[in-house]
Amino acid sequence: MAFLNVPNFLTLIRVLCAFGVLIFGLYGRWDVGFPLFCVAAGTDMVDGSIARILGQRTRLGAFLDPVADKLLMFFSILSLAGTGFIPLGLTVVIISRDVLIGAGLLVLKFKKVYIIFRPTYLSKLTTFFQFSTVLLAMLATQNFTPHWGAPYATLWTFVLGATVLLTTVTGCQYVRIGIRMLHDRSQKNQIDRQ
């Protein structure tokens, strides 16, 4: 069956690993959580390439891949924040942005607005910095960071600051895009009534 192809199987492994990261991470078992995170990140790098090379793109894969990515990021941040490796404030900013975007999409759907969802350049940069934050925190769970000293502390401060700034800016950017889409829909309705 098409949905059981190799890329979709790898994506399902990523989903399972994401749940493993959450469970083991919250118990402070980073000896298990960290390898699961590495496996999940590895599947993320190869599943899309395999789908393109083998011509195995499916609608399930197109839906499941971003869901798996979001789960991995969300569960990693929750478990790292819960064990003190990521500041709680950053977690609140990231989750608030995602909730805001989700609520905005629901409003647009309720108002029957045709949604054209294209990630912006800034949102891609935000994802990069969020992942970098998680990766640096994951390395801290393995006690790699004390060997790096001041360079790690400087990098950590820069990445955290950039993540907070970009997450906030892109949250505002998506609100602005949503408002513009609502406004365009309203204007179209007025024209249709004339």
pLDDT in tens, the chain (194 residues): 455 677 778 888 999 999 999 999 999 999 999 999 999 998 877 776 676 776 666 666 667 778 888 899 999 999 999 999 999 999 999 999 999 988 988 888 888 877 776 778 898 899 999 999 999 999 999 887 666 778 888 999 999 999 999 999 999 998 898 888 887 766 665 555 55
Asked whether residue 21 falls in the same domain as residue 101, the answer is: no
| φ/ψ bin of 113: left (φ > 0), alpha (ψ from -120 to 50), beta (otherwise) | beta
Asked whether residue 79 falls in the same domain as residue 120, the answer is: no
Asked whether residue 108 falls in the same domain as residue 140, the answer is: yes
Taking the C-alpha atoms of residue 23 and residue 19, their distance in angstroms, rounded to an integer, is: 6
Asked whether residue 99 falls in the same domain as residue 159, the answer is: yes
Asked whether residue 102 falls in the same domain as residue 46, the answer is: no
Residues 6+ apart with CB under 8 A from 127: 73, 119
Domain boundary residue among 59, 84, 109? 84
CB atoms within 10 A of CB 61: 20
What is the reported pTM? 0.83
Asked whether residue 148 falls in the same domain as residue 182, the answer is: yes
What distance, in Å, lies between the first and last C-alpha atoms of the chain? 51
Q: Which domain holds residue 191?
A: 86-194
Asked whether residue 95 falls in the same domain as residue 70, the answer is: no
- The answer to whether 27 touches 75, Cβ cutoff 8 Å, is no
Angle between helices 121-141 and 59-82 (to 10 degrees): 50
Domain count, the chain: 2
Asked whether residue 29 falls in the same domain as residue 46, the answer is: yes
Domain boundary residue among 47, 64, 84? 84
Asked whether residue 66 falls in the same domain as residue 90, the answer is: no
- The answer to whether 130 touches 94, Cβ cutoff 8 Å, is yes
